[in-house]
Structure 1
Amino acid sequence: MTSFWTRLFGGGDDSAAPSAAPAPDAGLDHAAVLERARAELELKTAAHDRTWALASAAWAVDLQQGEIVFTAPDGRRVTAPVQVIGTLDPDTGAWMWGWDHPSVAEPIGRAAAAVRDYGAERGLAELTTRVVDCDEARAWEFTALAAHLAGAQGGYRGAAGATLVFMTFGTVTLSAGDSAPTPPADFGAGLTPVDDPAPEALVRAYLGDIFAIETAHRDRPDGERGGHVHAAVAAMQPVYDRYWRRDDDYWRPASVSSRPESDLSLTHDWRTYSRGPDRWRVAYVRDIGVRLPRAYDVERFPDGLKIVDALF
């Protein structure tokens, strides 16, 4: 095989190009867009780590194929199309954008070019200047913004010698024969499936009410930075109290994601299991490019059905 450096900075093809899925950012200032992008990348990174252990996976990049390959600790091979957003020299603090990098072929720099175009529209010099002063935290912000604008499914930082390479990647594919277990079975193992629509209806109603609040407040800054988050969280509290019954506030809403957990359009494979008399588990799959298992435990109380726990 060729060396890592040759593979990283070889040619590329259209298979590595970002998906055309621009985010609905009209009316948001740059700080709000960046906040949204950071939240998205944090959510996606956590999802990949839970699903196939991204944080501890070995990796290699072949930009001639436009592909990043991860090897999970359990031996699963995870592949995805890749883009180079930029490189950072930690010693000098110099960031060089992938949209005009001498070692990055044009198809592999298209997600970076989307950031440049965004910056040009908004008059942001740091996004349109080929080399800028930068630290690692700022490099991650650039990467999060690129992932957001291109609809990427994740971001990654790798080392090529003393240089740090920041990348985004698309939808992951598990190697044949090593696919993950079917998500609903994770939370339904050992339980008996039942045909009872009421527990599922309760969970769907809860998620729908939360999603309506998140949607209504998501694009309203309300003055202060993050003000829309505070307003949304405040509006969620009576909804939580209406649907939940437990002794602590562990699952009480405290934040808002730009790609909410409560978006029913991203769910499928709903199933209900019995956990005993008047106790159920409602399991489903959330699909954001990786299949994520989700479940809620429901119990019957004198005043009706209530959610008592969530399993993520």
Structure 2
Amino acid sequence: MSLEKPKIDDSFRVLHEKAHEYITDQQEKLEDDFGFGQFSNYSVDWDESSITFQNEDNSSLKMTFQVVGTLETDTSKWSWKWNDPSISAEEREELEIIKNYGDFYDFSYLTIPSLEVTTPIAWALTAIAGYLRISKGIFRIQQDTNAHFVYFKEVLT
């Protein structure tokens, strides 16, 4: 089975450019305000949808996150989280904004439930999702052969 590969047109490139600029600014704010990018490890609480970054000196940064999609690294299959039947109604409502935006502007990358993508495209999709949801930044959580791409919702500490 071959997964679909949508085309990238100029309007999608413009959206990605705006999203990339926005996310870069947000990541810089996290770095300036909280030292993001300087932590040596992190732990994930999947039940609370939170991630805590830590250093050996006990400094830490905790944020809530929303999974946008998952990339199976061995098959390059991207699956949008909005298509997961097990997500809560709240998550579905939050994530369907991304799909609805894709429907409205005919961006099939945002509307096809599963796609074959490269890691840079997965990052681009995550940046767009983070931009559309006015997030605090984006991140990739590696878990076995799956990379969960997330956007940060709220800084807790």
Q: When the two structures are superposed, what TM-score results if normalisation uses the length of structure 1?
A: 0.43
Please show how residues 1-312 of structure 1 align to structure 2 within 5 Å. 29-50=11-32, 51-54=34-37, 56-72=39-55, 74-102=57-85, 104-108=87-91, 110-174=93-157
Distance of aligned partners of 1:153 and 1:98 in 2 relative to their CA distance in 1, 3 Å threshold? same
| RCO higher in structure (CA 8 A, sep ≥6) | 2
CA distance in 2, matches of 1:97, 1:156: 15
Distance of aligned partners of 1:109 and 1:59 in 2 relative to their CA distance in 1, 3 Å threshold? farther
CA distance in 2, matches of 1:109, 1:135: 25
Name the amino acid aligned to 1:117.
N
Q: Conserved in 1, the CA contact under 8 Å of 2:63 and 2:153?
A: yes
When structure 1 is superposed on structure 2, of 46-55 and 89-98 the one drifting more is 46-55
CA displacement 1:35-65 (0-9 Å, x = unmatched): 0110111222233234323353422222322
- 1:110 deviation in Å? 4.7
Q: Conserved in 2, the CA contact under 8 Å of 1:93 and 1:135?
A: yes
The runs of at least 4 consecutive aligned structure 1 residues that moved more than 3 Å come to: 102-112
Distance of aligned partners of 1:86 and 1:110 in 2 relative to their CA distance in 1, 3 Å threshold? farther
Q: Conserved in 2, the CA contact under 8 Å of 1:58 and 1:71?
A: yes
CA distance in 2, matches of 1:30, 1:124: 7
Aligned position for 1:245 = none
- 1:105 deviation in Å? 4.0
Structure 2 residue matching 1:54: 3-state secondary structure: coil
CA displacement 1:254-308 (0-9 Å, x = unmatched): xxxxxxxxxxxxxxxxxxxxxxxxxxxxxxxxxxxxxxxxxxxxxxxxxxxxxxx
- 1:146 deviation in Å? 0.9
CA displacement 1:105-153 (0-9 Å, x = unmatched): 4434554322111101011222111101111101111111111111110
- 1:89 deviation in Å? 1.0
Structure whose CA Rg is larger:
1
Name the amino acid aligned to 1:154.
G
Aligned position for 1:3 = none
| Percentage of identical aligned residues | 23
Structure 2 residue matching 1:141: 3-state secondary structure: helix
- 1:80 deviation in Å? 1.9
| Cα RMSD (Å) | 2.3
Distance of aligned partners of 1:59 and 1:100 in 2 relative to their CA distance in 1, 3 Å threshold? same
Q: Extract unaligned runs of 5+ from structure 2.
A: 1-10
Q: Extract unaligned runs of 5+ from structure 1.
A: 1-28, 175-312
Q: Conserved in 1, the CA contact under 8 Å of 2:137 and 2:151?
A: yes
Q: Conserved in 2, the CA contact under 8 Å of 1:84 and 1:109?
A: no
Structure 2 residue matching 1:171: 3-state secondary structure: strand
When structure 1 is superposed on structure 2, of 73-82 and 115-124 the one drifting more is 73-82
Q: Conserved in 1, the CA contact under 8 Å of 2:65 and 2:154?
A: no
The alignment of Structure 1 onto Structure 2 pairs a total of residues equal to: 147
